[in-house]
Amino acid sequence: MPSEDAVAGKVALITGASRGIGFAIARRLGKMGARVSICARDQAKLDQAASVLRGEGIETLAIRADVARSDQISVLIQKTLQELGPIDILVNNAGIGLFGPFHEFGEADWNAVLDTNLKSVFLMSRAVAPEMMRRQTGHIVNISSLAGKNTFANGGIYCASKWGLMGLSGSMAEDLRGYGVRVSAICPGSVATEFSGQSGKSHSKILQPDDVAHAVAALVTQSAESFISEVHIRPTRKP
Protein backbone atom coordinates (compact mmCIF):
# COMPACT_ATOMS: atom_id res chain seq x y z
CA MET A 1 0.00 0.00 0.00
CA PRO A 2 1.26 3.52 -0.73
CA SER A 3 2.56 5.42 2.27
CA GLU A 4 2.03 9.01 3.35
CA ASP A 5 5.82 9.18 3.35
CA ALA A 6 5.51 9.35 -0.45
CA VAL A 7 4.63 13.04 -0.09
CA ALA A 8 7.57 13.95 2.17
CA GLY A 9 9.82 16.55 0.58
CA LYS A 10 7.52 17.15 -2.36
CA VAL A 11 6.31 20.61 -3.34
CA ALA A 12 2.56 21.20 -3.21
CA LEU A 13 0.92 24.37 -4.53
CA ILE A 14 -2.60 25.01 -3.25
CA THR A 15 -4.78 27.85 -4.53
CA GLY A 16 -7.39 29.59 -2.39
CA ALA A 17 -5.53 28.34 0.68
CA SER A 18 -5.94 31.17 3.18
CA ARG A 19 -8.95 29.49 4.83
CA GLY A 20 -11.50 26.70 4.60
CA ILE A 21 -10.85 23.73 2.33
CA GLY A 22 -7.64 25.10 0.84
CA PHE A 23 -6.11 25.75 4.25
CA ALA A 24 -7.08 22.26 5.46
CA ILE A 25 -5.44 20.72 2.38
CA ALA A 26 -2.25 22.75 2.88
CA ARG A 27 -2.11 21.73 6.52
CA ARG A 28 -2.71 18.04 5.76
CA LEU A 29 -0.07 17.87 3.02
CA GLY A 30 2.34 19.88 5.17
CA LYS A 31 1.86 17.48 8.09
CA MET A 32 2.71 14.67 5.66
CA GLY A 33 6.03 16.36 4.97
CA ALA A 34 5.25 18.37 1.86
CA ARG A 35 6.68 21.83 1.35
CA VAL A 36 3.65 23.98 0.62
CA SER A 37 3.13 27.08 -1.47
CA ILE A 38 -0.18 28.76 -0.74
CA CYS A 39 -1.90 31.61 -2.52
CA ALA A 40 -5.02 33.73 -2.13
CA ARG A 41 -6.18 37.23 -2.99
CA ASP A 42 -6.50 38.54 0.58
CA GLN A 43 -3.01 39.33 1.85
CA ALA A 44 -3.99 39.62 5.52
CA LYS A 45 -5.76 36.24 5.60
CA LEU A 46 -2.94 34.67 3.60
CA ASP A 47 -0.34 35.92 6.07
CA GLN A 48 -2.40 34.63 8.98
CA ALA A 49 -2.73 31.19 7.39
CA ALA A 50 1.00 31.03 6.66
CA SER A 51 1.79 31.97 10.25
CA VAL A 52 -0.34 29.12 11.58
CA LEU A 53 1.22 26.58 9.20
CA ARG A 54 4.76 27.66 10.00
CA GLY A 55 3.93 27.53 13.70
CA GLU A 56 3.10 23.86 13.19
CA GLY A 57 6.48 23.21 11.60
CA ILE A 58 5.30 23.24 7.99
CA GLU A 59 7.63 24.81 5.44
CA THR A 60 5.34 27.40 3.86
CA LEU A 61 5.64 29.93 1.07
CA ALA A 62 2.76 32.44 0.87
CA ILE A 63 2.22 34.47 -2.31
CA ARG A 64 -0.67 36.80 -2.98
CA ALA A 65 -2.12 36.04 -6.41
CA ASP A 66 -5.33 36.23 -8.41
CA VAL A 67 -5.30 32.88 -10.20
CA ALA A 68 -7.69 34.14 -12.86
CA ARG A 69 -4.85 36.33 -14.18
CA SER A 70 -2.08 34.70 -16.17
CA ASP A 71 0.47 37.40 -15.32
CA GLN A 72 0.05 36.81 -11.59
CA ILE A 73 0.16 33.06 -12.11
CA SER A 74 3.52 33.40 -13.85
CA VAL A 75 4.93 35.20 -10.81
CA LEU A 76 3.38 32.63 -8.46
CA ILE A 77 4.90 29.69 -10.33
CA GLN A 78 8.30 31.33 -10.70
CA LYS A 79 8.56 32.23 -7.01
CA THR A 80 7.52 28.72 -6.01
CA LEU A 81 10.16 27.19 -8.28
CA GLN A 82 12.83 29.52 -6.93
CA GLU A 83 12.00 29.08 -3.25
CA LEU A 84 10.82 25.47 -3.05
CA GLY A 85 11.62 23.71 -6.31
CA PRO A 86 9.61 21.96 -9.05
CA ILE A 87 5.91 21.56 -8.31
CA ASP A 88 4.90 17.95 -7.69
CA ILE A 89 1.29 18.54 -6.61
CA LEU A 90 -1.10 21.25 -7.75
CA VAL A 91 -4.42 21.58 -5.96
CA ASN A 92 -6.81 23.89 -7.80
CA ASN A 93 -9.09 24.85 -4.94
CA ALA A 94 -9.88 28.55 -5.45
CA GLY A 95 -13.59 29.07 -5.95
CA ILE A 96 -16.52 31.39 -5.39
CA GLY A 97 -20.26 31.01 -5.63
CA LEU A 98 -23.23 33.22 -6.42
CA PHE A 99 -26.66 31.72 -5.86
CA GLY A 100 -30.03 32.88 -7.03
CA PRO A 101 -32.23 32.82 -10.17
CA PHE A 102 -29.90 32.90 -13.18
CA HIS A 103 -31.84 35.69 -14.87
CA GLU A 104 -31.21 38.05 -11.97
CA PHE A 105 -27.43 38.04 -12.46
CA GLY A 106 -25.39 40.20 -14.79
CA GLU A 107 -22.53 39.45 -17.14
CA ALA A 108 -20.01 40.58 -14.53
CA ASP A 109 -21.38 37.97 -12.10
CA TRP A 110 -21.02 35.24 -14.71
CA ASN A 111 -17.45 36.29 -15.47
CA ALA A 112 -16.48 36.42 -11.79
CA VAL A 113 -17.65 32.86 -11.10
CA LEU A 114 -16.43 31.28 -14.32
CA ASP A 115 -13.06 33.04 -14.17
CA THR A 116 -12.40 31.89 -10.61
CA ASN A 117 -13.88 28.39 -10.75
CA LEU A 118 -12.96 27.32 -14.28
CA LYS A 119 -10.60 29.67 -16.10
CA SER A 120 -8.17 29.65 -13.17
CA VAL A 121 -7.89 25.85 -13.33
CA PHE A 122 -7.06 26.02 -17.02
CA LEU A 123 -4.46 28.74 -16.48
CA MET A 124 -2.83 27.14 -13.42
CA SER A 125 -2.74 23.66 -14.92
CA ARG A 126 -1.38 24.96 -18.21
CA ALA A 127 1.39 26.71 -16.30
CA VAL A 128 2.58 23.63 -14.37
CA ALA A 129 1.91 20.88 -16.91
CA PRO A 130 4.98 21.28 -19.16
CA GLU A 131 7.46 20.79 -16.30
CA MET A 132 5.47 17.86 -14.92
CA MET A 133 5.44 16.31 -18.39
CA ARG A 134 9.17 16.81 -18.74
CA ARG A 135 9.80 15.16 -15.37
CA GLN A 136 7.25 12.41 -16.13
CA THR A 137 5.58 12.86 -12.76
CA GLY A 138 3.03 15.05 -11.00
CA HIS A 139 -0.50 15.19 -9.70
CA ILE A 140 -3.16 17.84 -10.37
CA VAL A 141 -6.20 17.75 -8.10
CA ASN A 142 -9.20 19.89 -9.01
CA ILE A 143 -11.68 20.65 -6.24
CA SER A 144 -15.04 20.52 -7.95
CA SER A 145 -18.43 19.87 -6.34
CA LEU A 146 -21.43 17.60 -6.48
CA ALA A 147 -22.91 20.67 -8.21
CA GLY A 148 -20.76 19.56 -11.13
CA LYS A 149 -22.86 16.39 -11.33
CA ASN A 150 -26.32 17.70 -10.37
CA THR A 151 -28.37 20.81 -11.04
CA PHE A 152 -30.54 22.70 -8.57
CA ALA A 153 -32.63 25.85 -8.44
CA ASN A 154 -30.64 29.06 -7.94
CA GLY A 155 -27.39 27.31 -8.85
CA GLY A 156 -27.19 28.10 -12.56
CA ILE A 157 -23.90 29.99 -12.72
CA TYR A 158 -22.20 27.88 -10.07
CA CYS A 159 -23.32 24.61 -11.63
CA ALA A 160 -22.16 25.79 -15.04
CA SER A 161 -18.69 26.46 -13.66
CA LYS A 162 -18.46 23.07 -11.94
CA TRP A 163 -19.90 21.07 -14.84
CA GLY A 164 -17.31 22.78 -17.02
CA LEU A 165 -14.62 21.90 -14.51
CA MET A 166 -15.56 18.23 -14.66
CA GLY A 167 -15.27 18.25 -18.43
CA LEU A 168 -11.92 20.02 -18.29
CA SER A 169 -10.62 17.64 -15.61
CA GLY A 170 -11.52 14.54 -17.60
CA SER A 171 -9.87 15.83 -20.75
CA MET A 172 -6.78 16.97 -18.84
CA ALA A 173 -6.43 13.47 -17.41
CA GLU A 174 -6.43 11.96 -20.89
CA ASP A 175 -3.97 14.53 -22.22
CA LEU A 176 -1.46 13.99 -19.40
CA ARG A 177 -1.70 10.36 -18.31
CA GLY A 178 0.76 9.23 -20.98
CA TYR A 179 3.37 11.47 -19.37
CA GLY A 180 2.93 10.00 -15.90
CA VAL A 181 0.93 13.03 -14.74
CA ARG A 182 -2.30 12.22 -12.93
CA VAL A 183 -5.38 14.43 -12.83
CA SER A 184 -8.18 13.92 -10.33
CA ALA A 185 -11.39 15.74 -9.46
CA ILE A 186 -12.94 15.80 -5.99
CA CYS A 187 -16.66 16.49 -5.72
CA PRO A 188 -17.76 17.31 -2.17
CA GLY A 189 -21.26 18.10 -1.08
CA SER A 190 -21.77 21.18 1.10
CA VAL A 191 -18.78 21.84 3.34
CA ALA A 192 -18.82 23.86 6.57
CA THR A 193 -16.89 26.94 5.44
CA GLU A 194 -17.60 30.65 5.16
CA PHE A 195 -18.30 30.00 1.48
CA SER A 196 -21.05 27.43 1.95
CA GLY A 197 -23.59 29.53 3.79
CA GLN A 198 -24.75 26.46 5.69
CA SER A 199 -25.44 28.24 8.97
CA GLY A 200 -28.19 26.60 10.99
CA LYS A 201 -27.47 23.08 9.76
CA SER A 202 -26.29 20.45 12.21
CA HIS A 203 -22.51 20.20 12.42
CA SER A 204 -22.81 16.41 12.26
CA LYS A 205 -24.75 16.53 8.99
CA ILE A 206 -22.34 18.58 6.90
CA LEU A 207 -18.86 17.89 5.57
CA GLN A 208 -15.81 19.48 7.15
CA PRO A 209 -12.75 20.89 5.33
CA ASP A 210 -10.65 18.05 6.76
CA ASP A 211 -12.88 15.55 4.94
CA VAL A 212 -11.79 17.03 1.63
CA ALA A 213 -8.17 17.22 2.78
CA HIS A 214 -8.31 13.52 3.61
CA ALA A 215 -9.45 12.75 0.06
CA VAL A 216 -6.58 14.79 -1.39
CA ALA A 217 -4.12 12.88 0.80
CA ALA A 218 -5.52 9.59 -0.47
CA LEU A 219 -5.21 10.66 -4.09
CA VAL A 220 -1.63 11.86 -3.93
CA THR A 221 -0.45 8.72 -2.12
CA GLN A 222 -1.97 6.38 -4.70
CA SER A 223 0.61 4.06 -6.24
CA ALA A 224 2.13 5.33 -9.48
CA GLU A 225 0.62 2.53 -11.56
CA SER A 226 -2.90 3.93 -11.26
CA PHE A 227 -4.87 7.04 -10.40
CA ILE A 228 -8.28 7.81 -8.97
CA SER A 229 -9.97 10.06 -11.48
CA GLU A 230 -13.02 11.18 -9.50
CA VAL A 231 -14.09 11.20 -5.86
CA HIS A 232 -17.56 12.04 -4.49
CA ILE A 233 -17.81 13.00 -0.81
CA ARG A 234 -21.08 13.08 1.11
CA PRO A 235 -21.87 13.31 4.83
CA THR A 236 -22.91 10.02 6.42
CA ARG A 237 -26.12 11.61 7.68
CA LYS A 238 -28.20 13.51 5.17
CA PRO A 239 -28.55 17.25 5.99
| Residue among 20, 158, 168, 188 flagged as catalytic | 158
Q: Give the whole-angstrom CA distance, residue 11 versus residue 139.
A: 11
Q: Which residues pair with 139 in a beta bridge?
A: 89, 182
DSSP character for 17?
-
Question: E strands of the chain, at which residues?
Answer: 11-14, 35-40, 60-64, 89-92, 138-143, 181-188, 230-233
Is 158 an annotated catalytic residue? yes
**φ, ψ for residue 13, nearest 5 deg:** -110, 125
Q: Sign of the C-alpha dihedral, residues 100, 106, 112, 118? A: positive
Q: Give the whole-angstrom CA distance, residue 93 versus residue 95.
A: 6
Task: Report, as residue numbers or ranges, the catalytic residues.
Answer: 158
